Structure 1
Amino acid sequence: MNFFERQIEVRKSSRRLVVLFVLAVISIIVVINLVIGGMSIANGATPAEVASLAVVVSIGTAGIIGGVSLVRTLMLRNGGGPAVARSVGAVPVPENTTDPRLRRYRNVVEEIAIASSTPVPELFIMPNERGINAFAAGYSPNDAAIAVTAGALERLNRDELQGVIAHEFAHVVNGDMRLNIRLIGVLFGITALAIIGRLAFYAGGSGRSSKNNNAVPIVLVGLVVMAAGYIGVFFGRLIKAAVSRQREHLADASAVQFTRQTEGLAGALKKIGGLDEGSRLRSAKAEDVSHMLFGEGLSFSSMFATHPPLVERIKLLEPGFDEKKLDSLRSQWRSAPPNGLEEDQRLGLAAPQDGNPAQAQPRRSPAQQPRQATGTAAPVPPQHVRVDARQLVERVGDPTASSYDQGQALRRALPEPLVEQAHDPVEVIALVCGLLLSADQRVRAAQHQILAQRLGPGPADAAWHSGAATAGLDPRLRLPLVEIAFPALRRRSPDELERLMAVLSELIGADGKVSVFEYSLGTLVFTGLHESMHHKPSWSGKRQDLRSAASAIAMLLAVLARVGNPDPGKAEAAYASGMATILPGSAIAFALPPEGVIALEQAWPVLDGLRGEDKARLVEALVTVVLHDEQLTVEEGELVRAVCAVLHCPVPPLGAMS
């Protein structure tokens, strides 16, 4: 099952969720009406009165459930993934942390994000949770958050942590997060009746103790509503179990394919089974996110379990595993619990950039940064890439071990002073602006003036110094550095982000032309920040098919063909190969838009409206064009990265395909 097929399955699950929700609401309404109707008849009510009461009760109950669900869903939508993380007591990872566990956690997430071509999620830790667990939350990769427990960071070695984070990234790219966050909102409305009934019951009980004649009916109504609410709890748990279990199997399989080894993920599961804390959460809100967790956060019967049995998950990874092994591990770890960092040192898993508090270097402001980054300033030669375009479509949203290897290599090649700046919510603005400063001193001076007018002299000078620090950076590292900067950017206020996007547009247009890198960086930042703030694309395109989108497709392929082929004849040949892949027999001739790459702005509302299977063919056509000459230039890779971000199709770095 590839990325596009999984997207279809998520949509089916969403429809199934709606059906189950409606059935649960109907069941609750029927129960409440039966009880209240019976009480009314016992008190001498006529059938007409009972019928009228049933209508009122049904409308009122449906209104309460629907209203509470809607309000809760809107609250979650406005807060995105970070709001869900904070709701269970998680706190953000400090940007300047020297804690080796937190640095290792952040580095692992950044490596996987670069490898899967997704923005780095905001990182949270649940400091009071000793069990081993994690979850990803958000409406899209652009507003995602990942939270792990303190127990996971304490007990897991780097390979095991990679397995857990890769599992969570599978939920990020597969669209499971949106489904999971909808589950929280929808089920809150069902279970809210139990809370309302409990309040009515206690209010009536208090009134009865004061000899209030109305207390008895209030108590009875409270009992009925509370009973109906617990029916809602029953259905809620059943719905979560029905929706979640298969998604967990798929995420496990994706994690194994991504990290190329089963030991990490299996090791994490064994530690859950072998430690007394297991994967349990103490938070009072644990049930809200139980279907989102890496492991069971609460003790449920198998009927309500949101995850496959632990031993079953381990055996799928290690077919010969004997579950009695967990007993011996449990006995061993009671006296000497595992320590993840010590295992890293013993097994040779520690990475240099994970850091050590004793060796931590003091932070430096942008003005103190070196004028040249430590990356190479030499031009990057074309990469020879041999890959079947259809094979790459199978890797959309499903990166392989070679993708992870490249993501890890790119992350480790980034100069740490620039990475530290990318983590800082204050300095990150200067870094992103600095990446767009021109090598032409005249244009650069004009850009500095723009920054001084829009942001002030201090930020303008900081961006100038950041531009000097990134001038010698290997071009292949520029967009990964921007991906790492996303969590810090999201911590700025919406007004600041709107101002930043306007400033970036002016910087890009300062010399009257737009390079492929400028357009790619701008598109990634604008798309990512808009979706993180508004939780929807910046356009409202209608559904399209390949025929209705033919002109937009032709424009995109023509621009892409020209980027990789300065020779017009070779560019036309590359274009023709892409068109033959997606629109065989098309009569649309090769033609470059006069505006160049900026013309693609007209195509995005159309192309993002394509169905999943049509997007798959478009990605195949893109790769066919790019690899027509079996060479991948930096500009081609950057533009493909930006295009696929707009299409919401995370393609692993093409360099990992060679």
Structure 2
Amino acid sequence: MDFFAHQDRARRNTGWLVVLFIIAVTLLVFLANFCIAVTIGWTELNAVKPNGTSSFNIILDQFSWKRFIYVGIAIWCVVLGAIIFKRLQLSEGGKRVAESLGGHRIYPNSDNADERRVLNVVEEMALASGMPVPPVYLLAYEVGINAFAAGNSPSDAVIGVTRGCINLLNRDELQGVIAHEFSHILNGDMRLNMRLITALHGIEFIGGMGEVLLRVRSNRSGAQVFLLGGALWIIGFLGTFFGDMIRSAVSRQREFLADASAVQFTRNPQGIADALKVIGGHQAGTSISSPATGEVSHIFFGQALSRLGGMFDTHPPLMDRILRVQPEWNGAFIYKEVQKEAPETEAEDRNKEKLAKAVAMGAALNGEFIDPAELLLQGNIVSVQEGLSHIPDALRGQAHDPLGASALMLGLLFSDDEAVYQKQLGYLKQKPTPGLLELIQQQTPALEQLSRALYLPLLELSMPALKCLSAEQYKLFKQRLLLLIRADEEVDLFEWCLFQELQHYLDPEFGKVRNLRPRYREMQQVAEPYRLVLSVLVYEGHDDSEDIERAFNRGIGSAGLYNLTILPADACELGEFRAAVKELAYAYPHLKPRMLMGFVNAVKQDGVITPVEREIVRSIAAVMDSPVPSLDEPQG
């Protein structure tokens, strides 16, 4: 998948969304004026009908440009007001959508076998796609088989699954569904979906007002209120009609793309094909019963709600989706009863031996040693499953608990210098949290033995648990991070990388974060910050001066900035580096792939990719709010 190409396509779709929205509201203005003219004309007809005057002319006489303008302004104000309100609601990210549908968060330390399975699948898919692990929400009372991804960006994204989804799908089928949802996050569809919810809420809000007025009972003005409510309801119905039409126009084709992307992620077309077949054989299908389904129906894996005889369904027919993935399908669906599978830990144990044998055989055939920790970073789901098995069970268990995850992140920052270490201990003892220091000291031996390549994956596994902290706990956790980092009175690159990823992906959970507005359209506008960031990257990853020069030249060549020269090593200060990375984040989406691929090609130049290089590239990508490019594909 080309994330940035899809981002550009999503931006074009957003443009079409704006055009369709303006047309829809304009039509509503005309219809509102028509309804008002009919209502007033009907009143006139009931009062007295002048001789020789037709009913049509009486109604036509009620049209007034002055009223037309006033009504138009009123409707636009109502629509825009509703949009602003909804936008403020959704600024909290995907969790707001999940909660509106009746979902509750599956805690990372859940011991339920079905919940544990979906959590593990989401973890694997996130690491394979270079994303932080998102929280998972369960729609516990929905028996239909469905799922969704919601959020404004990868940092506040959530994955939602229904009870039917986790009870009826096996691991491979569930993996296909989750991969489909991750593709929506990575190709920009998720952000477009959120904008669609916001825009269409304004149109459909008018219909809601009409329904309220229709329920009003008044002895003195019942007829007038009823007529006004009926008019608004008709307008609102037409608004819903336009909304469904826009959802359908924007959504259908993207589902085929997401299905194809799921196959690309998992390398297993059978998984998502069988999931679709199970849906076809399930009585409840993909239906969602929540009252909030209407305005978010387009975000689901399958058709959550069908209106107007399916004329404007947001998803293609089920059979068409299956045949796209599996052209040889014989038309038979899969019929399942709810059954409990073996606990996820047992399934993992069965997979570990097979995966380990496959990796060992591959290494023997190639005559090479493969560091198991490096498998976790290859962007392949099978490699990720094998790589995760090399993180000690004790550390993985702690990563699923809020206190344990906090202890892991703080433990990674402890210094080898005894004086600094004692100073760091002193900081943690100032405002002690019961059990925290003991946990850190308990984890220290395992952390000291952990491969450096697994530090950031361990961080990403900890994200859902850290998002379960309270706002006050997160504030204290962040303060402790800064104290430990500054204990030696300097900030090294690893400390910057760790803090940057934590801050970028956790801050949206605990407060509203203002989205960056792009301001750089040309590469030349970011040439200097790019030069500084690339210089730091190549100095950190290479020792030989010729390798440094070649890596820098490859990086600027990939970005199309051929006239730049590398900065002297003493000019590459970390403070300026941090500021430069933030400047790159203000580039327009079409520039980001060139910059990121420049960094990737620079670290690939010598054929050796160090954990430090990985950490820097992953952190730069996080600041730029972009998926991490693959570091293990052949150089292009």
TM-score by length of 1: 0.85
Q: 2:237 & 2:390 partners in 1: Cα distance?
A: 54
Change (3 A) 1:199 1:302: closer
1:112 aligns with 2:89: no
Which residue of the partner structure matches residue 425 of structure 2? 448
Q: Map of 1:145-224 to 2, 5 A cutoff?
A: 145-203=158-216, 206-207=217-218, 212-224=219-231
Q: 1:350 pairs with 347, 350, 370, which one? A: 347
* 3-state SS of 1:125 partner: strand
**One-letter amino acid of the counterpart of residue 16, structure 2:** R
Which residue of the partner structure matches residue 378 of structure 1? none
Deviations 1:457-485 (A, max 9, x none): 75444434444442221212111111111
Which residue of the partner structure matches residue 322 of structure 1? 330
Q: Map of 1:199-598 to 2, 5 A cutoff?
A: 199-203=212-216, 206-207=217-218, 212-300=219-307, 301-323=309-331, 325-326=332-333, 329=334, 333=335, 337=337, 339=339, 341=341, 350-352=347-349, 403-453=380-430, 459-534=436-511, 536=513, 542-594=519-571, 596-598=573-575
Q: 2:413 & 2:458 partners in 1: Cα distance?
A: 13
**One-letter amino acid of the counterpart of residue 181, structure 2:** E
Which residue of the partner structure matches residue 13 of structure 1? 13
Offset at residue 627 of structure 1 (A): 1.2
Q: Structure 1 residues 2-11 or 615-624, which shifts more? A: 615-624
Deviations 1:548-600 (A, max 9, x none): 21111111111111111123343233212222332453142442254644432
Which residue of the partner structure matches residue 28 of structure 2? 28
* 3-state SS of 2:389 partner: helix
User: Higher RCO, 1 or 2 (CA under 8 Å, sep at least 6)?
Assistant: 1
Which residue of the partner structure matches residue 61 of structure 1? 75
Deviations 1:58-113 (A, max 9, x none): 222222222112101211113x1111111111111133322111111101100111
Q: 1:425 & 1:640 partners in 2: Cα distance?
A: 27
Q: 1:340 & 1:274 partners in 2: Cα distance?
A: 19
* 3-state SS of 1:621 partner: helix
Q: 2:418 & 2:516 partners in 1: Cα distance?
A: 36
Q: Which runs of 5 or more structure 2 residues have no equivalent in the other structure?
A: 45-57, 353-368
Q: 1:175 & 1:353 partners in 2: Cα distance?
A: 36
**One-letter amino acid of the counterpart of residue 167, structure 1:** H
Change (3 A) 1:383 1:467: closer
**One-letter amino acid of the counterpart of residue 26, structure 1:** T
**One-letter amino acid of the counterpart of residue 159, structure 2:** I
* 3-state SS of 2:403 partner: coil
Q: 1:554 & 1:488 partners in 2: Cα distance?
A: 37
1:98 aligns with 2:84: no
**One-letter amino acid of the counterpart of residue 311, structure 1:** M
Offset at residue 407 of structure 1 (A): 2.1
Q: Structure 1 residues 31-40 or 406-415, which shifts more? A: 406-415
Q: Is the 8 A contact 1:195 1:226 kept in 2?
A: yes
Q: 2:520 & 2:412 partners in 1: Cα distance?
A: 36
Offset at residue 120 of structure 1 (A): 0.7
Which residue of the partner structure matches residue 608 of structure 2? 631
Q: Is the 8 A contact 1:158 1:340 kept in 2?
A: no
Question: Identity of paired residues, percent?
Answer: 35
**One-letter amino acid of the counterpart of residue 233, structure 1:** T
**One-letter amino acid of the counterpart of residue 123, structure 1:** V
Change (3 A) 1:91 1:578: same
Q: 2:101 & 2:81 partners in 1: Cα distance?
A: 23
* 3-state SS of 1:147 partner: strand
Q: Is the 8 A contact 2:414 2:424 kept in 1?
A: yes
Q: Which runs of 5 or more structure 1 residues have no equivalent in the other structure?
A: 356-380, 385-398
Q: 1:139 & 1:218 partners in 2: Cα distance?
A: 39
* 3-state SS of 1:146 partner: strand
Alignment length (residue pairs):
602
Q: Is the 8 A contact 2:40 2:62 kept in 1?
A: no
Q: Is the 8 A contact 2:518 2:587 kept in 1?
A: no
Q: 2:313 & 2:564 partners in 1: Cα distance?
A: 56
Q: 1:108 & 1:520 partners in 2: Cα distance?
A: 26
Q: Is the 8 A contact 2:407 2:439 kept in 1?
A: yes
Offset at residue 42 of structure 1 (A): 4.7
Coordinate RMSD, CA, aligned: 2.9
Q: 1:550 & 1:491 partners in 2: Cα distance?
A: 40
Change (3 A) 1:401 1:290: farther
TM-score by length of 2: 0.88
Change (3 A) 1:537 1:639: farther
Which residue of the partner structure matches residue 391 of structure 1? none
Offset at residue 33 of structure 1 (A): 0.7
Offset at residue 236 of structure 1 (A): 1.0
Q: Is the 8 A contact 2:127 2:379 kept in 1?
A: no
Q: 1:292 & 1:470 partners in 2: Cα distance?
A: 40
1:77 aligns with 2:74: no
Offset at residue 506 of structure 1 (A): 2.6
Q: Is the 8 A contact 1:21 1:186 kept in 2?
A: yes
* 3-state SS of 2:523 partner: coil
Q: 1:528 & 1:70 partners in 2: Cα distance?
A: 25
Q: Is the 8 A contact 2:520 2:526 kept in 1?
A: no
* 3-state SS of 2:628 partner: coil
Q: Is the 8 A contact 1:122 1:144 kept in 2?
A: yes
Change (3 A) 1:657 1:285: farther
Which residue of the partner structure matches residue 641 of structure 1? 618
* 3-state SS of 1:135 partner: strand
Q: 1:16 & 1:404 partners in 2: Cα distance?
A: 35
